[in-house]
Structure 1
Amino acid sequence: MKLAYLAPEIPALSATFVYNEILALTELGHEIIPFSVHKPIMPATDQHLDELRSKVIYLYAMPKKTVFFSHLKLLTKKPIHYIKALSECMKDMFQVNILSRDARGLFYRFFYAAKLAQDLVDNDIQHLHVHFAHVPTDIAMYASMLSGIPFSVTAHANDIFERGLLLDKKVERSGFFATISDFNRHYIQQTYQVDPGKLEIIRCGVDSRVFTRKSSIALSDPVRIGVVGRLVEKKGIDTLISALAILHTQFSDFKVEIAGSGPLEEELKQQVNQLALTDKVVFLGPLPHDQVVKFVTGLDLFVLPCKKDKQGDMDGIPVVLMEAMMVGTAVISSKISGIPELVINEQTGMLIEPDNSEQLAAAMLELIKDEASRTTLIRNAEKKVQQEFAQDINARRLQTLFTETIGRF
């Protein structure tokens, strides 16, 4: 198949699952043209992405004159498609309040959708797939109407929990609408009253050829605890730091490495200072994805105590949990969103209630002290990821859905 992919930023350090999915589908023999709304603020720098990076078309970087000419071409060559798409956009704008910022945003995205639509037609694209159900899907659904080429979506987290504008219409207009967890699927169906037959579950996958089982799961001396993620509220890094202070009163032979950057970095560093943990905790800054495998492999415990932030946003199923589980590092996370579908408490990892530092400290201490339990969790975790979250399995599922969707249009 000849496919197009659209995401907010390609290739972005914070969304490795997007470009890994593109690479996996390319390996299956499909030709893919990648489109990105923006140029990445924090781009992924892995060398094996050079070819992909050279192909990305950045929509919002296009001169407005070029985009305007795309409108003229489409109006001339596909007048019925164009008039219908413009009519649907206007209806959408009235639905969200024609005078609102949301309405202006929809029209702005319709404007750039013409450039995407023209490129889809010029390159004989058969299907367009989008990651994230907010801005990129706004662009994609209008580009689909303008071009007559079907589109599908993979939704993740804040794009449905916080930014679900017109989500019912996006599901209706898509060839299929996928999301990463059963939790999300149920949330979308119940909140937006959509056709459940349109909803699919496609996991974000891990490449088992890259994330391979480490040779030994014996604990380091000192015990190495770590986490990778943006330093934002929903990751729960503050909960981890509070739990470390509790753990330190019962077990002191550990080191903690926090990889990532974000708006809470200084606040979290102050918390470490206030709790007198500066000799235990180090902040590594952002970690290139090609170094993640080495980092999580070297850890004894990977701890990501996610929670819901003040705006209601929360993680879906963080890919880095899968990566840690795949290499044989024991994981601890929270009972929130779709995480329990991956980290099954006391089977494939340990789960705590969100924002509960006492539970987290107890879980870390248990995994440090109980080698037999840790070994069992690690073995079960690797099997779970291999069976359900492996990248090749989910790439083939997408391939099947693309084929079926193209066949209907």
Structure 2
Amino acid sequence: MTNKTMVVLLKGYPRLSETFIAQELLGLERAGFRLKLVAMRRPTDKKRHPVHDEIQAPVSYLPEYLHEEPGRVLKALWKVCRMPGFGKALSAFLRDLPKDVSRNRFRRFGQAAVLAAEWPADASWLHVHFIHTPAAVARYTSLMSGTPWTVSAHAKDIWTSGDSDLRDKLNDARWAVTCTRTGFQKLASLSTRPNVHLSYHGLDLKRFPAFEGDRSRRDGSDPADPVRILSVGRAVPKKGYDTLLKALSLLPAELCWTFIHIGGGEELSRLKAIATDLKIAERITWKGALDQRDVLQHYRDSDLFTLACRITADGDRDGLPNVLVEASSQNLPIVATDISGISELFVDGENGLLVEPDQPQQLAQALERAMRDPALRIGLGKAAENRVRSDFDYHTSIADLKRLFSESWTSGAKS
């Protein structure tokens, strides 16, 4: 594939919360693909992961808001309106508009015009991450220019999109790949042809070498050496941190623990206020966003990892949070909820403890069980690590993508 160049369209780049995408980009480069990255938003994170610095692909940015670069947008529209596929793209846009009469819809068409007008001369494929708004830009771009496109779908983008919107994109894309069986089943049920594929992200296990240290025997009985509970995730509703805080407040008073949260997010202030109201704030440390090296050290220093993911009212949910795979690679035992792809990795009582979402009492009981029983934690952690190291190596997902790209790129036909 070294004679092929692919444009990869991203919602934002780089992002600390999307290490799985960065890892995939690096893997594709190492597999021989030449990439050019195009992002719809500029970065807002103040830090970068080491993997971002290893990616060689150049990065360019579309106008995040059309009014910020009117000259660039108008120049692009003038150019693309002469393209043979412009009429098809405009028709698709006009069909989509009644379903989403918003500035957002016009912005996606304008961004697509810029991407098509500024298309690199040596690129012959377009791949996009997320099947909601980024895929809209990719679809319009493909219709304008005739460039084939493919899509990686993940979680929120699947479950907050309407079925008709998903169906239109799946029918126009050469193929789609997604990272959980639940997501695969949803998309496959909507596509009119067998072009949806399942491929778990996995980890670059060289970045997460086996933890050779001994796991502690803390059992919550020593105030001077409390059980260390860790969670990594953005403070957003689907992560269920309000439920987790309530569960922590329900733990027996004599049980000694500390909780560390790593991640940013718009709900941090609200969660800190909840912790104060529940009278557990003094046991909690809010670390904010950290890079991958710091997160790895926290996995190794902690006794227990927990997430309380939920399905929100608008359907938003996680797939298989990458942090659960990362924590498991360090034999850190998991207490989590049994939604989406989480139950595709963990089996309750075998390699983790799973409870129903939005059930703080159940979560508190599972946390207490793990906290009081170091032997249980060690057994669960080892079993989860064995599963991750045997079945979640990212080289498998890169091999899947390389095969899909190579077959469809070579044939030039819909698969």
The match for 1:203 is 200
User: In structure 1, what residue type is equivalent to 2:139?
Assistant: M
**Given the alignment, which residue of 59, 68, 75 partners 2:74?**
68
The match for 1:329 is 332
Distance in 1 (CA, whole Å) between partners of 2:254 and 2:319 is 33
Q: 1:176 offset after TM fit, Å?
A: 0.7
Secondary structure of 2:336's counterpart equals: strand
Secondary structure of 1:60's counterpart equals: coil
Distance in 2 (CA, whole Å) between partners of 1:387 and 1:325 is 12
Q: CA RMSD in A?
A: 2.3
The match for 1:132 is 130
User: In structure 2, what residue type is equivalent to 1:279?
Assistant: E
Matched, 1:392 2:395: yes
Q: 1:376 offset after TM fit, Å?
A: 2.7
Q: 1:92 offset after TM fit, Å?
A: 3.2
Q: 1:124 offset after TM fit, Å?
A: 1.9
Q: TM-score, normalising length from structure 1?
A: 0.90
Q: 1:281 offset after TM fit, Å?
A: 1.4
Distance 1:44 1:156, change over 3 A: farther
User: In structure 2, what residue type is equivalent to 1:240?
Assistant: L
Distance in 1 (CA, whole Å) between partners of 2:351 and 2:61 is 40
**Given the alignment, which residue of 262, 267, 287 partners 2:290?**
287
Indicate if the aligned counterparts of 1:127 and 1:402 stay in contact, CA closer than 8 A.
Answer: no
Q: Which runs of 4+ in 1 moved over 6 A?
A: none
User: In structure 2, what residue type is equivalent to 1:5?
Assistant: V
Secondary structure of 1:261's counterpart equals: coil
User: In structure 2, what residue type is equivalent to 1:243?
Assistant: A
User: In structure 2, what residue type is equivalent to 1:245?
Assistant: S
Distance in 2 (CA, whole Å) between partners of 1:205 and 1:355 is 27
The match for 2:280 is 277
User: In structure 1, what residue type is equivalent to 2:75?
Assistant: F
The match for 1:359 is 362
Pairs within 5 Å for 1:305-384: 305-384=308-387
Secondary structure of 2:281's counterpart equals: coil
Distance in 2 (CA, whole Å) between partners of 1:320 and 1:114 is 36
Deviations 1:220-254 (A, max 9, x none): 532210101111221111222222222233522x2
User: In structure 1, what residue type is equivalent to 2:166?
Assistant: L
Q: 1:351 offset after TM fit, Å?
A: 0.5
Secondary structure of 1:293's counterpart equals: helix
The match for 1:80 is 84
Distance 1:59 1:245, change over 3 A: same
The match for 1:177 is 176
The match for 1:159 is 157
Matched, 1:259 2:258: no
Deviations 1:324-346 (A, max 9, x none): 01111111110112211122222
Distance in 1 (CA, whole Å) between partners of 2:334 and 2:43 is 29
Distance in 1 (CA, whole Å) between partners of 2:54 and 2:226 is 41
Distance in 1 (CA, whole Å) between partners of 2:204 and 2:399 is 13
Secondary structure of 2:161's counterpart equals: coil
Pairs within 5 Å for 1:215-254: 215=212, 216-219=214-217, 221-249=225-253, 251-252=255-256, 254=257
Distance 1:179 1:47, change over 3 A: closer
The match for 1:21 is 24
The match for 2:185 is 186
The match for 1:146 is 144
Distance in 2 (CA, whole Å) between partners of 1:203 and 1:48 is 19
Distance in 2 (CA, whole Å) between partners of 1:171 and 1:43 is 35
Indicate if the aligned counterparts of 2:8 and 2:35 stay in contact, CA closer than 8 A.
Answer: yes
User: In structure 1, what residue type is equivalent to 2:386?
Assistant: K
The match for 2:211 is 214
Q: 1:43 offset after TM fit, Å?
A: 5.2
- Larger helix share, 1 or 2: 1
Distance in 2 (CA, whole Å) between partners of 1:67 and 1:290 is 40
Indicate if the aligned counterparts of 2:181 and 2:198 stay in contact, CA closer than 8 A.
Answer: yes
Indicate if the aligned counterparts of 1:299 and 1:329 stay in contact, CA closer than 8 A.
Answer: yes
Matched, 1:91 2:88: no
Unaligned 5+ runs, structure 1: none
Distance in 1 (CA, whole Å) between partners of 2:353 and 2:36 is 40
Q: 1:8 offset after TM fit, Å?
A: 0.8
Unaligned 5+ runs, structure 2: 219-224
User: In structure 2, what residue type is equivalent to 1:93?
Assistant: L
Distance in 2 (CA, whole Å) between partners of 1:242 and 1:386 is 33
Q: 1:348 offset after TM fit, Å?
A: 2.2
Distance in 2 (CA, whole Å) between partners of 1:31 and 1:289 is 25
Distance 1:53 1:14, change over 3 A: farther
Indicate if the aligned counterparts of 2:228 and 2:304 stay in contact, CA closer than 8 A.
Answer: yes
Length, aligned pairs only: 398
Indicate if the aligned counterparts of 2:26 and 2:51 stay in contact, CA closer than 8 A.
Answer: no
User: In structure 1, what residue type is equivalent to 2:126?
Assistant: L
Secondary structure of 2:152's counterpart equals: strand
Q: 1:402 offset after TM fit, Å?
A: 0.9
Q: 1:48 offset after TM fit, Å?
A: 5.1
Indicate if the aligned counterparts of 2:35 and 2:57 stay in contact, CA closer than 8 A.
Answer: no
Please, which moves more after superposition, 57-66 or 202-211?
A: 57-66
Indicate if the aligned counterparts of 1:234 and 1:309 stay in contact, CA closer than 8 A.
Answer: yes
Q: 1:139 offset after TM fit, Å?
A: 0.5
Secondary structure of 1:127's counterpart equals: strand
**Given the alignment, which residue of 22, 27, 30 partners 2:33?**
30
Secondary structure of 1:35's counterpart equals: strand
Indicate if the aligned counterparts of 1:203 and 1:389 stay in contact, CA closer than 8 A.
Answer: yes
Distance in 2 (CA, whole Å) between partners of 1:7 and 1:222 is 42
Deviations 1:45-83 (A, max 9, x none): 23552464982111125833234333444444xx32233
The match for 2:112 is 113
Distance in 1 (CA, whole Å) between partners of 2:115 and 2:20 is 22
Distance in 1 (CA, whole Å) between partners of 2:386 and 2:298 is 21
Residue identity (%): 32
